[in-house]
Structure 1
Amino acid sequence: MNRKQKRLSIIAAGAVFLAGAAALVTSALQEQIVFFNSPSDVLAKPLEPGTRVRLGGLVEAGSVERGENSAVTFAVTDTNASVKVRYVGILPDLFREGQGVVTEGVFSPEEGTFMADMVLAKHDENYMPKEVADALKAQGVWKEGDPPPGVTVKETPVY
């Protein structure tokens, strides 16, 4: 084997190694790449007990119940399905009914309840996670150019 053949075999071996490593990483992260799941996704696919997931959607109107010791129960919906969420802790200042929210925790299929240990709220009245907006658009609830559901647009007087 001459030098050129050795060099080509080393390059080929390296390329095969990198392709194999990329395939292993991609297959290992296949289920974890999703930023969050909608309530329909969480209810449709069976999750193993103790699996941590992110649940995203809109806080259902009239579902927020505050308990003792900063315990809060509310429902997250994607307008097709709704999941009851329990959270103990201080909610973000921007948390309210009809607004986008992403929660992180464990879903209990026996109780049908999502036990959240982190709640993230949207940062202003114009922001909604792209996945939630796309899901709402696909269901025909929100059309391009309209304000997101739950957002009131205030008219600015012209002087």
Structure 2
Amino acid sequence: MNPRRKSRLSIILFILLGVTIATGLVLYALRQNIDLFYTPSEIIYGKNDDASTKPEVGQRIRVGGMVVTGTVHRDEKSLKVKFDLNDIGPAITVEYEGILPDLFREGQGIVAQGVLIQPTVLQATEVLAKHDENYVPPELSDQMQKVHKPMGIADLQGESEKDRQSKEMDMKKEGYK
């Protein structure tokens, strides 16, 4: 092989090796920032009831569910709040320190993001409350419909009452009703 071609080939291989190493390091660094979405039942039983898919202690996750009525406990001397969250199965405990959204209430759907500090305890860094009493996050709605329909519980809707009224008004304007 020509010495010139040999040097070009070694430079190309060196560049490819460098790009491969850099890509691997970037992916390794970003894996800690991935937030997977779970419901409380999936945290306890695993996704699709597969115990190998349960989140591990120390993993960053997002959890969506309903705040269990009567479980909100506020610390009088700080902004610490502790409450239980469930879908239709077992509940998990969420601990949060900070100002909760204005729409946060017992019996309301929320999404909490944080780190799992025990198998059923989430240390939340962010709590998001739904914007309307009829809104359910799409991921939670899909998951709950899978469980609720076999049990005969009423269907959940992923749209708000305002959206529904708006659609009805549009249909009336177009002469469908």
TM-score band w.r.t. shorter chain = 0.5 to 0.7
* Residue 128 of structure 2 is aligned to residue 120 of structure 1: yes
Residue 94 (1) aligns with residue 103 (2): yes
Maintained 8 Å contact 1:58/1:99: yes
What is the 5 A alignment of 1:12-31? 12-27=13-28, 29-30=30-31
Per the alignment, residue 74 of structure 1 pairs with 83
TM-score, structure 1 normalization:
0.63
> Percent same amino acid at aligned positions?
29
Task: Provide the aligned C-alpha RMSD in A.
Answer: 3.7
Structure 2 counterpart of 1:65: 72
What letter matches 1:11 in structure 2? I
Larger Rg: 2
Partner of 1:55: 62
CA offsets, 1:75-102, max 9 Å, x none? 2224344211233432111323332312
Shift of 1:24: 3.9
With over 3 angstroms needed to count, the CA separation of the structure-2 counterparts of 1:78 and 1:19, relative to structure 1, is farther
Number of matched pairs: 149
**Is 2:117 aligned against 1:107?**
yes
Paired with 1:82 and 1:64, the residues of 2 have a C-alpha distance of 11
Q: What do residues 3-24 of structure 1 show as CA deviations (whole Å, max 9, x unaligned)?
A: 2331222112211222233234
Q: Higher helix fraction: Structure 1 or Structure 2?
A: 2
The TM-score normalised by the length of structure 2 is 0.59
- Cα distance 1:33–1:152, how it changes in 2: closer, same or farther (>3 A)? closer
Paired AA for residue 39 in structure 2:
S
> What is the match of residue 50 of structure 2?
none
Asked if 1 retains the 8 angstrom alpha-carbon contact of 2:68 and 2:86, the reply is no
The answer to whether the Cα contact below 8 Å between 1:95 and 1:121 also exists between their aligned partners in 2 is yes
* Structure 2 residue ranges without an equivalent (≥5): 47-53, 150-154, 173-177
Residue 63 of structure 2 aligns to a residue in which SS? Answer: strand
| CA distance 1:7–1:82, shift in 2 (3 Å) | same
Are the equivalent residues in 1 in contact too, given 2:110–2:127 (CA < 8 A)?
Answer: no
Q: What is the DSSP-based 3-state SS (H/G/I as helix, E as strand, rest coil) of the residue aligned with 1:115? A: strand
Structure 1 residues 46, 9: CA separation in 2 closer, same or farther (over 3 Å shift)?
A: same
Whether the aligned pair in 1 keeps the contact of 2:82 and 2:93 (CA below 8 Å) is yes
Letter in 1 for 2:100: L
